[in-house]
Structure 1
Amino acid sequence: TPFCATLSRTVVDARRAGIFLRRETRNLPPAAPAVNNALWDGRRRITLGDEPGAFLIAPLGAARAARQAIAENGTPPSLVRAALAAEPVLWRASEHPGDSPMSPGMAVCPVVAPFARFLPSFDLAPAGSVAALIGAPRLPAPPFGGHTAG
């Protein structure tokens, strides 16, 4: 039987296949107008680019996640669907552009929380490692030469 625990909005799910981390679905942000360059749920940077029109941003939800095709890569499909349910989706009216090709300027990118807002120099090394693990952009270099680099 798998072991599950929740630590600060993160579900830790330990199984034979490995230890998996995902965002729990409790207390996700409600649907709201999408704003360019916004930080959603402290985990994703939303870029709307030149895309015209009003968008709403909301979690995908369990019902839509259940309809997603899941690639076989060793991760249990139930965990992939649970993780997808907590991911943000952009909506225009009742359609979600993710069902069709997105505009090249639109993006939902991971950020290294809590370092997305404040990053002391002694946290540069661990924050850089986390960024590489989650596919977030590289962190900027310290603004002053000779500053500690971790």
Structure 2
Amino acid sequence: MNEQPARTLIYKRTETGDEIGLGYLDAQGRLWRAGGNVEVGRVTGDGRVLRKTAYDERELGVFTAEGEVHSHGLFEGGALGWVDADGVVNQGGLIFGEEEVGRVAGPQQPAAAAALLLLFLPDDAEESRRFR
């Protein structure tokens, strides 16, 4: 991925500890998948993450300015994770044990962390299941 100052880059951590770039958040709040530059959603100024669908958008969850992420859908919703000050994204809550799942780099860390947890990681897991 080509780093530009207005972008916040989104990486997932693999089981081997490597990082893979999944996408980025642009200065206008649009979420883009890496590679094909496909717009997959957006974040709003009031802390919501929206997935782009064929005909509309669907709200996946919310995030705080402090970097806490809450899901609307996963097992009735709830705390999903957070981002540390250094950009490390952690997944954890009632359902999941605490685990480092990725990293974000750029000016919009809380929003990008929410996108990683709510949109990019679930999509990546679904794609992996299809190829098994």
Which of the pair has the greater relative contact order for Cα pairs under 8 Å at 6+ separation? Answer: 2
TM over 0.5: no
The structure with the larger Rg is 1
TM-score normalised by length of structure 2: 0.27
TM-score normalised by length of structure 1: 0.25
